[in-house]
Every structure is written in structure tokens, then in C-alpha cells.
Amino acid sequence: MGETIIPLADLRYAAELPRIPERVVPPDGLLSDRLGRPLRDLRISVTDRCNFRCSYCMPKEVFDSRYRFLPHDALLTFEEITRVSRLFVEHGVRKLRLTGGEPLLRKGLETLVGMLSALRAPDGEAIDITLTTNGSLLGRKAASLRAAGLRRVTVSLDALDDAVFRRMNDVDFPVADVLRGIDAALAAGLAPLKVNMVVKRGTNDHEIVPLARHVREHYGPSVILRFIEFMDVGATNGWRMDEVLPSADVIDRVNAAFPLEPLEPTAPGETAERWRYRDGRGEVGFISSVTRAFCRDCNRARLSTEGKLFLCLFASRGHDLRALLRGRRDGRPYTDEEVAAAIGLIWSERDDRYSELRGRDAAEPGSGERRIEMHYIGG
């Protein structure tokens, strides 16, 4: 067997070179991990850059003007993203979520959306293509994204009050511009739209009811508001348990203002606990990754902007798929069958369940390795 040539990988996070099994078997869409969890959702970070400096994700004291982001030639090309996405679809993925950083900072993103929207599952069904954004550029991008094939969008909005919102994004960005982006997305047909609010006790929890009221009165069922517990992702956001407001408390606050009733999950592995307003004015969700872990149903994988595959949002080590996408074996590029087989082997050996083990030794990253940061892999 000839020499395997692997290009140098970015070393900011540990990554293993994927192993190709001796017997290469085509994907059958039935792939599952060691805990019986299927692979259904791939979250793709298209950039590690963001124009906000939210304290829970990219605090300004760490991500300042001296911080070195990844060079452009290290990022996966749109063709590489589409190729690897197609292989994940063959393994059973039915949803692709574009994220960042701030994904709308990636030049020509509409081209990628168009390429991904052409993918089909083995049964011919279209793949669900969605995007998560801070909304700052959505007003000027919504129509072109919809025309390219995007169907849904999620907007991060941590406060309705302008002063609070400016403090939280830490770049003095006005909330009105994000609201205009939401209006533009709805006008373009990107609905139902989701709005995510990360709740930090003592920082923006007083904004829970005002934001719920605004979404109910202005958008109704066209927008689904979701409240997310402040998570211990990475090592730079200063996470403390006393700043976590449990979803149970958030539910109580919303229910006291606008009576709620629970809904059944729409699909296995759904992250949000779903409720609806009793008066029919829409739906609201609660994501409780700290107080009510949902690891046992997690069917998501995450691909970093330079091609590292992570099996958990709280992982410290990934798998360098870019090495296969750009590498050579016996003097030839790796085939789709070989890359797909490597992906299948990686997922089949997965046993991650960090949130269920939080606080125990088994949950801590090993060998002094640091967990991935939110901006690098997306939420």
C-alpha cells in the first residue's frame, strides 16, 4: 500500500485522522451510534467569524483585534461542504443547518444554499435546509437566501429592550435592525421563523415576558420563540451555574402572563420542549440542556468551518474530515465510498452524553484539552 498524504490541519483543537474500515460498505441510512441514536441532523459552521461579541459566546476580552481567525484557505469550500453533506444524507441526515460564527458573513452564502438545496434523500425527498443568524445582515439577505432554496431561519435575539440588547452584543448594535431582519425574512417566506433567546439570570431574564408579548402580538404563529438555558460551552464565556435560570422557572413566568399548554414533540431528538398559548397566539419552546439533558435522543453531528467533525457540542476532540476531502491515498484522492465509510465508523463508535454526566469526572475533557467554543462550531 502506498503512502497516505494528509495535509496539515489547523491545530487549535485536537482532531483525529479518520480511519477507513477495511471493508467499505455503502451507506444504507440506518447508521446508529453505541447508544442506538441515529444520525439525522448535521450542523455546518461556515465561518468562525462574527460581528457580535456576546459575552456567552465571543467575549470581547478574548476575541479582540489580535485574535487570529482561520485563514480563508483553511475553510471548507462550498464544493467540499456539498460533497460531505451528500455523504451524510446517504447515512440518514435529513436536516442541514448552516451556522457560524455569523454565517451571513461568509461571502456568497446563497451559492452554497443553492448547492445544498439540490440534495435529495435516497427516497427523493428534499433535505430541510435552515440557517441560524444573529439577524444583523438578514434584512439585506433574506430574499436572496429564499430564492436560493433556504426554507427556514432561526434568529438569535436576547432582549427586546435596546439598551440591554446593545450591552449583550457588546458592539452597540441596535435591536431595531434585527427586528427589521425578522420582518424581511417573513416577507420573503422564511416561515415559520424561530427566535432564540439565551437567558442569563441577572442579565436579561427580566426580558422574558416582554419578548414573549412582542412575538405574540406582532407575529403570532408565524414566529416560534424559544428560551435557551445559559450553557457551559467552551472555556471563555465565564459560565456559572448561578447564572442559569432553569427552564421550569421560565415556563412559570411565561405561563403566569400568557397561559400555556404542553405539546408533543414533532420528532425524536427534538431539543426544545414545546408549549403553545391557550389562546392560539402561537408556540413557544424551552431548551434545557443544563437542567434537563436530552443526550439520550441526540441525533446531531457538527462540522466545523475547516472540516472537523464533532459529535457533541461539549466535545474537546474532533475528527479531521478535511484530511480525507483534500488528502490522497495511493496517489489518488479518497473516493466518496471511502469518506462515507469513515463517517459511518466515526458515528458508530459515538457514545457522547456530556450533559447527562455534567459535574462528574466522566464529563470533563481529558488530557488538558479544551472544549470547543460556540463561535467555532455553532449552537
| Per-residue model confidence as pLDDT tens digits over 169-215 | 999 999 999 999 999 999 999 999 999 999 999 999 999 999 999 99
CA distance 146 to 165: 27
pTM over 0.85: yes
DSSP strand pairing (317-320 vs 308-310): antiparallel
CA distance 266 to 268: 7
110 forms bridges with which residues in the sheet? none
CA distance 360 to 158: 30
- pLDDT band for position 55 (cuts 50, 70, 90): confident
Is a pLDDT exceeding 90 seen at residue 126?
yes
pLDDT per position as a tens digit, 158-174? 999 999 999 999 999 99
pLDDT value of position 5: 37
Averaged over 323-333, what is the pLDDT?
A: 92
C-alpha cell belonging to residue 195: 427566535
User: What are 324-327's contacts with CB under 8 Å, separation 24+?
Assistant: 324/18, 324/20, 325/76, 325/80, 325/83, 325/84, 326/7, 326/80, 327/4, 327/5, 327/6, 327/7
pLDDT value of position 234: 52
DSSP strand pairing (193-199 vs 152-156): parallel
Cα dihedral value 310, 311, 313, 315, nearest 10: -70
Distances (CA, A) of 226 to 124, 157, 273, 301, 354: 31, 10, 9, 21, 22
* CB burial of residue 192 (10 Å; 0-12, 13-18, 19+): middle
pLDDT value of position 97: 97
Of the listed ranges 6-15, 84-93, 273-282, 317-326, the least confidently predicted one is 6-15
pLDDT value of position 296: 78
- pLDDT band for position 280 (cuts 50, 70, 90): very high
Instruction: Put residue 246 in one of left, alpha, beta given phi > 0 → left and psi -120 to 50 → alpha.
Output: beta
Of the listed ranges 147-161, 227-241, 269-283, 344-358, the least confidently predicted one is 227-241
Of the listed ranges 238-247, 305-314, 362-371, the least confidently predicted one is 362-371
- pLDDT band for position 4 (cuts 50, 70, 90): very low
CA distance 164 to 207: 9
CA distance 71 to 78: 15
The CATH classification of domain 4-374, taken from the options 2.40.110.10, 3.20.20.70, 3.40.190.10, 3.30.1330.10: 3.20.20.70
% of residues, the chain, pLDDT over 70: 86
CA distance 116 to 235: 32
* CB burial of residue 26 (10 Å; 0-12, 13-18, 19+): exposed
Task: Determine the residue type at 225.
Answer: L
* CB burial of residue 359 (10 Å; 0-12, 13-18, 19+): exposed
3-state helix, strand, coil in the chain (%, to 5): 35, 20, 50
CA distance 186 to 191: 6
Element (H, E) at 194: strand 193-199
Q: Mean pLDDT in the chain?
A: 88
CA distance 113 to 106: 12
Averaged over 323-342, what is the pLDDT?
A: 94
- pLDDT band for position 279 (cuts 50, 70, 90): very high
Residues 283, 296: contact at Cβ < 8 Å?
no
The better pLDDT of the pair 357, 81 is held by 81
Phi, psi of 144 (to 5 degrees): -70, -35
379 three-state secondary structure: coil
- pLDDT band for position 363 (cuts 50, 70, 90): very low
Residues 267, 294: contact at Cβ < 8 Å?
no
